[in-house]
Amino acid sequence: MYYNIVKLDRRYSHFSSYGFMITFPKGAGESGVLNFDRCRRWFNDTYGWSQDVEIQGPMRQAQLSGFETNDIEVNPHWAYNIKYNDYRIYVEDSKILTMFQLKWKS
């Protein structure tokens, strides 16, 4: 499986919530979208369902603003993003990233 890992810092928009980003470019005869889908399903099974990272921001803001959000759950362990044919998975920390790397060798 072909993927890249990026350690997030202030240059990236979601660095305050997540530590790493996994991208799935096309390459080595593989489709980025298929690899992304396989990994997203694995994250769903392993760490629970999560939202798109762009949706999580307003949801967190609503929770901080005191809106009634008893039934809203934001998964802090991972999120995904599909934008402009760029497939990404954001992970919270190196522990989750290590589990991903053990499952999906690059």
| pLDDT tens figures, 1-39 | 889 999 999 999 888 889 999 999 876 666 788 999 999
| pLDDT tens figures, 59-89 | 777 766 766 656 667 888 999 999 877 899 9
DSSP state of 84: T
Residues 14-45 as b/e (b if ≥16 CB within 10 A, e otherwise) read beebbbbbbbbeeeeeeebeebbeebbeebee
Confidence (pTM): 0.85
